[in-house]
Amino acid sequence: MAICLLKNITKSYELGGESVEVLKDINLQIETGDFLAIMGPSGSGKTTLMNIIGCLDVPSAGEYYLAGKEVSHLSDDELSLLRNEHIGFIFQSFYLLPYATVLENVLLPTLYVANGSNREATEGALRLLKLVGLEDRAKFKPNQLSGGQQQRVAIARALVNDAELILADEPTGQLDSKTSGEIMELLAAMNGHGKTVVLITHDRITASYAKRVVHISDGRLKLEENAQDIQDRGAVI
Ligand SMILES: Nc1ncnc2c1ncn2[C@@H]1O[C@H](COP(=O)(O)OP(=O)(O)O)[C@@H](O)[C@H]1O
Ligand SMILES: [Mg+2]
């Protein structure tokens, strides 16, 4: 089943009494287990599209089905429930709480979910910290970690509610190339474990970790290419 199905999605913003169309007639299907990269230049609408896929925002027109459910007319409360259940987010700037420990940051999404005990959640979070190689950093604060380590914490946080869909908006945008590679390897491993991953990037090397790539330009989805083609052409691009 398609975990995400976007049909004729448009998104407009009102600016100074004028309506600006930022997404134009987007059609996109994302299957469970897919690893999709969305590429496009700055201002092309990548984050706007990600916000709709992630139920952080609703389209102006069109239909969006998440896990078979049409969500474009849901209320904010309904959207946040759905987000918590299905989606883990990773952002360029990590968005960790500075005064909370690594473990507390990873546990944050579990605070909004009723089921399960604290102990179970903590054990789950510690397992995830081990998975991302940070089991010995659980009591550190984010500013005591490198950028790559902070993004690993964010990945653990994205996984803590066992979401099936991971959305990553420029996750390597603040990282050097070696660390970027490590983060992308980790996302690819999560995809190998069955998570559906949607990655936004303007970097071809980052996109080459995905299984398929779509391009967005001026709010329109353009050609799709096989990520293998990008790999074959190599890092010279
Ligand atoms: N809340 C908003 N209000 C008005 N315009 C916006 C808003 N968010 C984004 N835009 C505009 O939409 C376009 C696409 O933005 P965005 O999706 O952030 O692009 P990208 O992530 O590809 O850089 C830009 O021209 C931006 O100025
Ligand atoms: Mg963006």
* pLDDT for residue 237: 41
If you take atom 6 of ligand 1, which residue's CA is the nearest one? 13
Q: Look up the CATH superfamily of 30-58+75-236.
A: P-loop containing nucleotide triphosphate hydrolases (3.40.50.300)
* pLDDT for residue 230: 62
pLDDT tens, position by position, 80-95: 988 988 999 999 999 9
Distance 163 CA to ligand 2 centre (A): 22
Distance 43 CA to ligand 1 centre (A): 6
Closest-lying ligand 1 atom to the alpha carbon of residue 49: 17
If you take atom 20 of ligand 1, which residue's CA is the nearest one? 43
Residue 228, both tokens: 């293998």
Q: How many CA atoms lie within 13 A of 231 on its CB side?
A: 9
Distance 144 CA to ligand 1 centre (A): 33
* pLDDT for residue 112: 76
* pLDDT for residue 235: 45
Whole-angstrom Cα distance, residue 37 to residue 197?
8
* pLDDT for residue 73: 86
Residue ranges for the chain with pLDDT beneath 50 = 235-237
Ligand 1 neighbours by CB, cut-off 6 Å: 13, 15, 22, 40, 42-48
State the ligand closest to the CA atom of 169: 2
Whole-angstrom Cα distance, residue 101 to residue 201?
29
Whole-angstrom Cα distance, residue 179 to residue 123?
27
If you take atom 16 of ligand 1, which residue's CA is the nearest one? 45
* pLDDT for residue 116: 65
172 C-beta neighbours (distance < 10 Å), count:
26
